[in-house]
């Protein structure tokens, strides 16, 4: 059994106590973090190693973005793709070497894309679409059991947002983003584990804005994902989101996802 977790932590140093609590309570074998917002030398490597997560692959940068994969299972870093094409730290790929040996685990933080869903008026939106386009070309040649996880910043299904019609022109749920992410999914036949285990239209949100009282209004979106290669997906036996973290003090606006594999 191998358990993989993914969490946009929105500053790992600010929320280290929450990471430590999550690891103590949920005890995944591997945790993929996005938006760590620090350089590699600033990452709390020792604190996480003391909890048993001694194997670490950290791709950070100053102040923004950044991803890190920490593990109780030995791993080997494989690659750091610059799908943003500007040097930002948004991806790290590893191969598991212990239990689950051979699984490739890709940890990605897709750009949010700004506020205006128009490439001409908002270059950030075009960068987001191009990022997913580069991921799509990469996915076409994959030939190993792969799990890609992270903050995709796209809620693809109508039931992945609290109000489909109201959000059709809001970045993260526009038709062009959904279509672009759909091409990425088709390029490798990715299986969306979130919807395999929590079928549509069941509620399955992973993000709530700080600007709304999340528990009362529940204005959520499913922006975080765990997608498996066709040959790996049948080995997934359970999947859940850990919504309790959103009630913790100074929470991230995202909650963790956890998938168990029989490997």
Sort strands 30-34 and 2-8 into parallel, antiparallel or unpaired.
parallel
Its domain, for residue 33, covers 2-261
Total-model pTM: 0.97
Q: Is 57 helix (H, G, I), strand (E, B) or coil?
A: strand
Q: Do residues 104 and 68 touch, judged by C-beta distance below 8 A?
A: no
**Count of structural domains within the chain:** 1
CATH code, 38: 3.60.10.10
Q: List 146's β-bridge partners, or say none.
A: 104
Q: What is the pLDDT along the chain (263 residues), one digit of tens a residue?
A: 999 999 999 999 999 999 999 999 999 999 999 999 999 999 999 999 999 999 999 999 999 999 999 999 999 999 999 999 999 999 999 999 988 888 999 999 999 999 999 999 999 999 999 999 999 999 999 999 999 999 999 999 999 999 999 999 999 999 999 999 999 999 999 999 999 999 999 999 999 998 875 667 899 999 999 999 999 999 999 999 999 999 999 999 999 999 999 98
- Dihedral over Cα of 189, 191, 195, 196: its sign: positive
């Amino acid at each position: 059994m191998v358990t993989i977790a993914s969490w946009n932590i929105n500053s790992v140093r600010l929320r280290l106590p929450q990471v430590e609590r999550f690891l103590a309570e949920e005890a995944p074998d591997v945790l993929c973090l996005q938006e760590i917002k620090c350089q590699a030398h600033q990452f709390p490597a020792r604190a996480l190693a003391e909890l048993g997560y001694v194997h670490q692959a950290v791709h950070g940068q100053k102040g923004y973005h950044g991803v890190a994969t920490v593990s109780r299972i030995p791993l080997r870093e494989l690659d750091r793709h610059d799908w943003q094409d500007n040097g930002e730290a948004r991806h790290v790929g590893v191969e598991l070497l212990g239990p689950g040996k051979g699984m490739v685990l890709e940890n990605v933080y897709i750009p949010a894309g700004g506020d205006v869903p128009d490439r001409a008026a908002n270059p950030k939106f075009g960068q987001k679409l191009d990022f997913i386009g580069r991921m799509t070309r990469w996915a076409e040649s994959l030939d190993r059991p792969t799990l890609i996880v992270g903050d995709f910043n796209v809620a693809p299904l109508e039931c992945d947002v609290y109000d489909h019609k109201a959000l059709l022109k809001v970045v993260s749920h526009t038709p062009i983003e959904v279509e672009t992410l759909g091409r990425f999914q088709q390029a490798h036949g990715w299986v969306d584990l979130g919807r395999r285990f929590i079928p549509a239209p069941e509620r399955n949100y992973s993000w709530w804005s700080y600007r709304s009282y999340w528990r009362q209004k529940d204005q959520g979106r499913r922006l975080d994902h765990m997608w498996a290669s066709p040959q790996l997906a049948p080995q997934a036996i359970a999947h859940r989101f850990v919504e309790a973290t959103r009630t913790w003090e100074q929470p991230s606006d995202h909650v963790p996802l956890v998938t168990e594999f029989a490997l």
